[in-house]
Structure 1
Amino acid sequence: MSFEHHTVIVTGAGNGIGRGVAEAYARRGASVVLADINTQNGEQAANEISQMGGEVIFVPCDVRKEADITNVISITYEKFGSIDILINNAGVSRFKSPYELTIDEWDDVLNTNVRSCFLASKEAAKYMKRNKNGGSIVNISSTRALMSEPGSEAYAASKGAIVSLSHALAVSLGSDGITVNCISPGWIETGDYSVLTEIDHRQHPAGRVGRPSDIAEACLYLTHPDNTFVTGANLVIDGGMTRKMIYEP
């Protein structure tokens, strides 16, 4: 599966899922733009991907700021001449009792997680619709859009909004040849995979905890030029956990 002659923007690409996604596209020949608020992580990721042979640049970006987003989009177009794929991955979580969660904390989560998806998609689509074959957008949501734990109100609301935003954009942008899909990851271990226990793995019907590469493979599928019939979908990648009944003894 080659992505040569394709330009990909990944937000929140300095580490975790975002970095894994960026590496996957770079290995398949895409030109990749890393956008992240953490300059140190972003530059390190860009350097290491470049050493792998990938064509990559890093652009500092706070996705809560519209000007930062438009800057990433314009730099990408000036550098590579097209924008083909956008992966909206940047996000924050804040788990706190609804009795204690402040409105500023609520706004920060919603602005970082969902408003940024709209702003980046809006700006990238302006360039994608110029392409002969349109473009593809993937928004990273979470299984927290479907199920919750105590104190997850802001995060769950933002991730649920991303799912709805994705199918709305798919309908609005479809006539311009742009597909928009959503991925809802479950437990994806972005730290030291070796410290996970047998119980951690066994509780998943798939038999293991997820890795960033699992999400990267889904992004590659959803954005491949051959898959133009796949749009408006929410792909849940959680090792089967949201399908597993759990009863308290």
Structure 2
Amino acid sequence: MLHALIVTALAGLATTLGGMAAVVRRPGKRIMALAMGFAAGVMLTVSLADMLPAALGEYLAAFSPWGAGLAAASLLCMGMVVAGLLEGVLPEEKAFRGVGDSQKARVLRSALVTALALLLHNLPEGILTLFTGVADPQVGLRLALAIGLHNLPEGLAVAAPLYYATGSRAKAVGAAFLSGLAEPVGAVLAFFVLGRFLTPGFLNGLVVLVAGIMSWVSVFELLPTGFGFDKKGWTATGFGAGLVVMALGISVLS
């Protein structure tokens, strides 16, 4: 149990390394447009090319193709609805004007939405890593390595916009750290409090739900914010780079 917990914690806290890389130098508008596009590409690829297919494979083993597709599509749409509701709870951009101009306020709000989405994303990841590590330490180690490498660009996605908006390295890295901390903390709480309720079906459903949330954040928050810098080519380039990096990572580590 202790070995599995340590491995899960290291995988989750890899977001901190990504956050530290993001604050080496305060980004300008071009780099921010690139970073927002990159974050969108990373989150969308993780959602649709990693999380969704894994859960869909489990559904196909239990239902007909139509039933599996309907279950996955329903949960994906439900996740988008949840993301829209969560986004609506956050204050409007004018509430963040203390950080500077309206563009920085928009970036800060997007950073908070992204951090919340990745926090939710990291919870089921931590549960899966811990439970796998307890059942089979070698498989758990491989899974933790894959998740840790995925978490590096996710930490960058959280920290870069926060650093741009606030100018605070501590806040940016701290946000990346907290988003990754959700993996070991959520895993421990789930193991001791919700262990008997965490069936494979429940976890699969949670994964698809979170994939819907992350897809919504990518399309409705990150990309519009990136295009708002009037550097559309840079945003599009970042988006493509995010797709390629995560697609290669998923392929190599699968």
Give the TM-score, by structure 2 length: 0.32
- Answer 1 or 2: higher relative contact order, Cα 8 Å, separation at least 6: 2
Q: As a proportion of its length, which structure holds more strand?
A: 1
